Structure 1
Amino acid sequence: MKFTKMQGCGNDYVYVNCIEKELENSNEIAKVVSNRHFGVGGDGMIMICSSDKADFRMKMLNADGSEGAMCGNGIRCVAKYVYDYKLTNKENLSIETPSGIKYLDLTTENNKVVEVTVNMGSPILEAKLIPVISDNDKVIAEPIDIDGVEYKITCVSMGNPHAIVFVEDTKNFQVEKIGPSFENNKIFPDRVNTEFIQVIDRNTISMRVWERGSGETLACGTGACASVVACVLNGKTEDEVTVKLLGGDLKIKYDREQNLVFMTGPAVIVFEGEIEL
C-alpha cells in the first residue's frame, strides 16, 4: 500500500489515496500502520475518497482502528494532499466528513499549500447531542468526580465530543494518568476527548489533549476549536485566540454572530512510502 505521512502541528496521520478504490479491512490496517514500532507510526490513518456531495471525502480512523467523525488537523492535510499532488487546482475546497461538509481556504506558495483555514461549522452545546449525560441542557463548568478529585468540565462537540477542563499549569499536569479516566467515564456514552487548558491571557491559551482511541497527541484541531468556544462561554478569553499545543500553534476564531468556528494552521508532508500488509 502506498501512503504519505503528514502532520499538522504534530498531529500525524498516514494518508492513503482511496479515490479509485477504498481499502478493505481499513480498521485493521489503521491499527497496523499507526503502530510506531512495527508500522509507519501515527495518530491514525486517513483515507482520501471520492464524494458525490463535495470535492472530496475524508474517512478518519484512530490508532485503535475506531472511526472518528472529524479531525481538524487531518482535514488541513487532506487539502494539502489533493492540491500538492494535483488532484485539484482549486484553492477553495469542500470536503465531506461524517460530521458534515467542511469548507477550506488554501494559502499557497510556489504551487504548494503552506496554510489552510477551515470553516469548522457550528459548535454543538446540547448535552444529549454531544453526547454527555447531564441533568442540564448544556454542560458549562459542571463538576465531575475523576479518581476522587473534583474537576469542572465544559462540554462541546465539533463533530467529536470534547470535555474542556481549566487547569493552572498544563506543563506539569499528568495528562497520561488522568486522561483515560475522563475518556472512559460513564457520563460519556461515546467516550470523550479531553482538553486541559491553561489561560495565558485574553488571546492566548495553552492546551494539552487526551484523544479517545489515541491517547495524548501533540495537537487536536477540533479540540482547539472546542476549547476556544469553552473559553468564551466561561468568559475567559476574547473570540480570537492563539492555541499553543505541544506540536505548534493554531489560530482559532469563534464568530458568535454567525455561530461558526474558523481554524487556521499548517499542513506538512513528512515522507512518502510503501508498506506490505
Structure 2
Amino acid sequence: MQIKFYKYQGAGNDFVLIDNRENEVKGIDKEIVAGFCDRRFGIGGDGLMLLENEPGFDFKMVYYNADGNEGSMCGNGGRCIVAFARHLGVIADTTKFLATDGVHHAKISEAGNWVSLQMIDVADINKDGEAYILNTGSPHYVKLTANLEVKDVYNEGYAIRNNPTYKQDGININFVEKMDKGYFVRTFERGVENETYACGTGVTAVALAMAKHNHQTGTLTTPIKVLGGDLSIRFDYDGETFSNIFLEGPAELVFEGVINL
C-alpha cells in the first residue's frame, strides 16, 4: 500500500508526518518506522508522527522515535504537527491537541511557519552532580559547559545516556554554554541515539534549569541558539513551579511524497 507523507523541520529537527485521520495506518511496527526515518534508505527524520482524530480535541499527536519505538513528548515535533494540521485545514490559527504527556495549546502565525506551543508545567528539578535533571514531557539532563562549539557531544552524551543511572529508561543530554543573550545548546537525544540539530523539550529544560541556576523568578524569556537555528522559551516561575511555558520557533514543510507501507 502506498501512503502519502510530509516532511517538516523545526530548527533542523526533522520529522516524517502522516495524516492518519482515516486510520489507514494501523499497528505500524518499529522496523517500518525506523525505515522511514533512515536517512540513506528511507525518507529521513529524527522521528515519525501520526496526526489522528481524538474526541474533544482538534487532533491527537502520536510520536515515534527514529529507532522505531513510540516516544515521549517531542517539542519541535509538536510545533511541526501544528503547522501540518494548519496545512491540512484541520485548524486555523489556534489549537488544542492531545499528546502522550497530556493536553497542549498552540498558536501559529498567519504565514503558517512560526508556532508557539504550550508545554507542561514543571515543579521538580533535581541534581546529578553539577547537572540538572527534569522532565519537560521527556526526561532531560542539563549541564553547563565551555567551548561547546568543539565539544564531542556524541561520545560524551552517549556515555552519560548509557551510564548505569540512565541506561534502562534513557535520558536526553543537553550541554549548555552561556551567550551574551541566552544560551547555546547541543543535545544528544535518546531514541535517535545521536546528536540532533535541535530538541524542543531539551531547550525548554535548559531554560528552566538556567532560571533555577541563576535564582531568577517572574516572567522570563530565554533565547536559545541550536545547530539548526534559533528558538525562544517564555515562562513564569514563582520559585517553586514553572508555568505558562511556551516553546516558540519555526516549523516548515520541506517536501511531500508517497512511500510504500
TM-score past 0.5 threshold:
yes
Structure 1 match to 2:70: 67
Structure 1 match to 2:131: 153
Structure 2 match to 1:118: 117
Structure 2 match to 1:178: 156
In the TM superposition, residue 67 of structure 1 has moved relative to its aligned partner by: 1.5
**Is there any run of 5+ residues in structure 1 with no aligned partner, and where?**
126-137, 144-151
Alignment partner of 1:256 is 2:237: yes
Normalised TM-score (structure 1): 0.86
Q: Which runs of 4+ in 1 moved over 6 A?
A: none
Paired residues of 1:163 and 1:194 also in contact (CA < 8 A): yes
Give a deviation string over 1:211-263, Cα, whole Å, max 9, x none.
Answer: 00111100000000000011011107783111100001001112114722111
Structure 2 match to 1:93: 95
What count of residue pairs does the alignment treat as equivalent?
A: 251
Structure 1 match to 2:38: 35
In the TM superposition, residue 180 of structure 1 has moved relative to its aligned partner by: 1.2
Structure 1 match to 2:87: 84
Across the aligned residues of Structure 1 and Structure 2, the Cα RMSD in angstroms comes to 1.6
Give a deviation string over 1:64-107, Cα, whole Å, max 9, x none.
Answer: 0112111111111111111122123x311011011011100111
Per the alignment, in what secondary structure is the counterpart of residue 67 of structure 1? Answer: coil
Equivalent residues in 2 for 1:1-277 (5 A)? 1-21=3-23, 22-88=25-91, 90-109=92-111, 113-125=112-124, 138-140=125-127, 142-143=128-129, 152-188=130-166, 189-201=168-180, 203-214=181-192, 215-235=194-214, 239-257=220-238, 259-260=242-243, 261-277=245-261
Normalised TM-score (structure 2): 0.91
Per the alignment, in what secondary structure is the counterpart of residue 41 of structure 1? Answer: coil
Per the alignment, in what secondary structure is the counterpart of residue 104 of structure 2? Answer: strand
Q: Which moved more, 1:255-264 or 1:204-213?
A: 255-264
AA of the residue aligned to 2:8: M
Paired residues of 1:199 and 1:236 also in contact (CA < 8 A): no
Structure 1 CA distance for aligned equivalents of residues 65 and 123 of structure 2: 22
**Is there any run of 5+ residues in structure 2 with no aligned partner, and where?**
none
AA of the residue aligned to 2:249: G
Identity of aligned residues (%): 32
